[in-house]
Amino acid sequence: MSLFILLGVSMIIYFLIRLMPVDFIQDKINAINQGGATVSEETVNAMYAMYGLGDNSFLGILEGYVSWLSALVRFDLGTSFVYGIPVADVIFEHMGVSFAVALIATIFEFMIAIPLGITAATHQYSFRDYIVTILVMIGISLPSFFFGQMLKDLLALKLGWFPASGLVNATASYTGVELLLDYVRHMFIPILTIVILSIGARMRMTRTNMLEVMNSDYIRTARAKGLSENVVINKHAFRNTLIPLVTSLAGLLPSLFSGAIITEQVFDLPGIGNIALDAMNRGDIPFIMGYNMFLALLSVIGVLLADLMYGLVDPRVKLE
């Protein structure tokens, strides 16, 4: 099933690259060459061969797709024009930063959003509920680039508490713990941006689920048993609310590795998203294609994992 999805996604992506005129690619290569880097003839030919470009007959396209797909299976995503090394290597090199930022942000997101969402649901229409509603609205309405820039302007440029961009202080050469602290300082605002913008949706999800659960018959039973409200909420209701939350956590897997394009761009973090954006602007076609396939693969894994998690948390779902 998921293989089928992957096949479909790859077909669409392959079709997209076939839409690109070949001389345009040549133009881009020339531009990169003028920029100082050199794209070897070999790399270009390898890419042409891999995608089967040049032959626009139906058979040619089919052949190109098959050759690209077989390369893909071997995780050969081609060679990046700009970096001159295999695309897979570029991706893995820059994945670390994106992963660190996304992981920390996701942990904070769940740690903040779940308790808040639950209190909002159990104190419906109270002051707390309104606060949460407002936070939710901020989270889902603020464009990340605008909010990120505002935080950067305020916390980094005006107050000077944190560095504005990059991942390390270029002028100092830190090692060990100091280097780690420097990383933390640089990642603080990006993580803050992601957390504030993402807790909204998560809180709303928690709140809606919790409300639904709290109105169910088995919660009434739990109360009728004489359980204290705390146990009713934190054991009986929470365990049920957890089902969609855990499932959504599995769905988040791709975003852990894929990088937050906008946030990385705003804070100039050398994460994979920023690299991809840069690659697009410079016409590094093999990289963009490889990156997209990488993401598609991740989201298919995410779907699979979500199903798996669902089976784990919900006893009603049997794993086949």
Partner 1 sequence: MAKKNTNYLSGREIRKIAKENNKVMKQLEAYKHRKCDESEYLTTMSNPENILEIENLNTYFFTEQGVVKAVNGVSLDIPKNATVGIVGESGCGKSVTSMSVMRLLQGPTGQIYSGEIRFNAKENDGTEKIYDIAKMPIRDIHKIRGNQIAMIFQEPMTSLNPVFTIGQQLDEVTFINKKDATKEDAKAKSMEMLNLVGIAAPERVYAAFPHELSGGMRQRVMIAMALAADPRLIIADEPTTALDVTIQAQILDLLRDLKDKIDGSIMLITHDLGIIAEMADYVVVMYAGKVIEKGTAKEIFHNPMHPYTIGLQKSKPTLKSDSDMLFNIPGNVPNPVNMPNYCYFKERCDKCIEKCSGDYPCMIQVSPTHFVSCHLYEEDQNNG
Partner 2 sequence: MEKLKNKEEVVEEVKDTEVPLDKNVRLMSPTRMVVRRFFRSKLSILGLIMCISLFVFSFLGPVFYTEWGEIELDESGKTEYSISETTYEVNGVEYTLRQTTEKSLKDNFLAPPSSEHILGTDNEGYDIFVRLMYGGRISLIVSFIAVFLITILGVLMGGIAGFFGGVIDNVIMRLCDILICLPGIPILLIISTILDASNIDAKYRIYLLMIYLTFISWPGTARLVRGQILSLREQEYMVAAEAMGYSTPRKIFKHLVPNVMPQLIVSMSLSLGSMILYEATLSYLNLGVKAPYAAWGTMINIISTNQDILQNHLNVWVPAGVCIVIAVLGFNFVGDGLRDALDPKARR
The one among 92, 218, 234, 308 contacting partner 1 by CB under 8 A = 218
Residue type, 165: S
To the nearest whole angstrom, how small is the minimum distance from the Cβ of residue 220 to partner 1?
6
Cβ-based nearer residue to partner 1, 75 or 218: 218
Is position 313 an interface residue for partner 1 (rule: CB under 8 A)?
A: yes
Distance, CA of 119 to CA of 129 (rounded, Å): 7
Q: Determine phi and psi for 20, rounding to 5 degrees.
A: -80, 125
Alpha-carbon torsion (90, 92, 95, 96), positive or negative: negative
Cβ-based nearer residue to partner 1, 178 or 229: 229
Q: Which two tokens stand for residue 103?
A: 């992981």
Is position 221 an interface residue for partner 2 (rule: CB under 8 A)?
A: no
Cβ-based nearer residue to partner 2, 23 or 41: 23
Nearest by Cα to 99 from 277, 288, 258: 258
Is position 34 an interface residue for partner 1 (rule: CB under 8 A)?
A: no
The one among 227, 280, 303, 312 contacting partner 1 by CB under 8 A = 227
Distance, CA of 53 to CA of 122 (rounded, Å): 60
Instruction: List 86's β-bridge partners, or say none.
Output: 79
Q: Which two tokens stand for residue 313?
A: 């948390």
Site string for partner 1, 92-131 (x = CB under 8 A): ---------------------------------x------
Distance, CA of 169 to CA of 152 (rounded, Å): 16
Q: Which two tokens stand for residue 4?
A: 């089928």
Cβ-based nearer residue to partner 2, 156 or 195: 156
Cβ-based nearer residue to partner 2, 145 or 238: 145
Is position 206 an interface residue for partner 2 (rule: CB under 8 A)?
A: no
The one among 30, 143, 161, 239 contacting partner 1 by CB under 8 A = 239
Is position 16 an interface residue for partner 2 (rule: CB under 8 A)?
A: yes
To the nearest whole angstrom, how small is the minimum distance from the Cβ of residue 84 to partner 2?
20
To the nearest whole angstrom, how small is the minimum distance from the Cβ of residue 5 to partner 2?
5
Size of the site for partner 2 (CB under 8 A): 48
Distance, CA of 224 to CA of 219 (rounded, Å): 9
Is position 157 an interface residue for partner 2 (rule: CB under 8 A)?
A: yes
The one among 69, 71, 142, 227 contacting partner 2 by CB under 8 A = 142
Site string for partner 2, 109-128 (x = CB under 8 A): ----------------x---
The one among 29, 205, 275, 276 contacting partner 2 by CB under 8 A = 276
Instruction: List 79's β-bridge partners, or say none.
Output: 86
Distance, CA of 25 to CA of 188 (rounded, Å): 39
Distance, CA of 120 to CA of 133 (rounded, Å): 8
Is position 176 an interface residue for partner 1 (rule: CB under 8 A)?
A: no
Half-sphere exposure (CA, 13 Å, Cβ side) for 257? 18
Q: Which residues bind to partner 2, rule: CB under 8 A?
A: 4-6, 8-9, 12-13, 16-17, 19-21, 24, 125, 137, 140-146, 149-150, 152-153, 157-158, 164, 258, 261-262, 265-266, 276-277, 280, 283, 285, 288-289, 291-292, 295-296, 299-300, 303
